[in-house]
């Protein structure tokens, strides 16, 4: 079981069909700016909270490193069709896309 890497310009397609966006950064990082619609579930808390991540979720972090770790872990736990946002939040903003500031999605 694996996951698929996703380019930032492909994210809107997944958002439109209702994919869950899971930001695995720590709460202070998330509050500084996150992809609109993303909910915060820190990688440090993922073990024991796997059921909060549905199949077909898109995992996001700062650069794509932690989210790829989370995606690999969740895939090993049986989650299907997971996506990892390549370049993470940095890649998202590099393309001129907006972030939401604060601790709300």
pLDDT digits (tens, 9 = 90+) for 19-70: 999 999 999 999 999 999 999 999 999 999 999 999 999 999 999 999 999 9
Could you list the active site residues? 61
Residue ranges per structural domain of the chain: 4-94
Domain 4-94 CATH (choose: 3.40.50.300, 3.40.50.150, 3.40.50.1010, 3.40.250.10): 3.40.250.10
Average pLDDT score, the chain:
95
Residue 99: its pLDDT value, please? Answer: 95
**Residue 13 CA to chain centroid, in angstroms?**
14
User: Is 45 in a helix, a strand, or coil?
Assistant: helix
Decide: pTM greater than 0.85: yes
d(CA 94, CA 65): 17
- Is it the case that residue 1 has pLDDT exceeding 70? no
* Helices and strands (DSSP H and E) totals, the chain: 4, 5
Q: Nearest CA to 8 among 35, 45, 43?
A: 35
- H helices of the chain, in order, are 11-16, 27-32, 65-76, 88-94
């Amino acid at each position: 079981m694996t996951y698929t890497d996703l380019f930032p310009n492909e994210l809107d397609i997944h958002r439109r069909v209702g994919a869950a966006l899971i930001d695995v950064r720590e709460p202070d990082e998330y509050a500084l700016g996150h992809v609109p619609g993303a909910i915060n579930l820190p990688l440090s808390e993922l073990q024991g909270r796997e059921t909060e991540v549905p199949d077909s979720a898109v995992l996001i972090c700062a650069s794509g490193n932690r989210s790829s770790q989370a995606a690999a872990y969740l895939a090993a736990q049986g989650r299907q069709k997971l996506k990892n946002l390549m370049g993470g939040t940095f890649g998202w903003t590099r393309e001129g896309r907006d972030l939401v500031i604060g601790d709300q999605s």
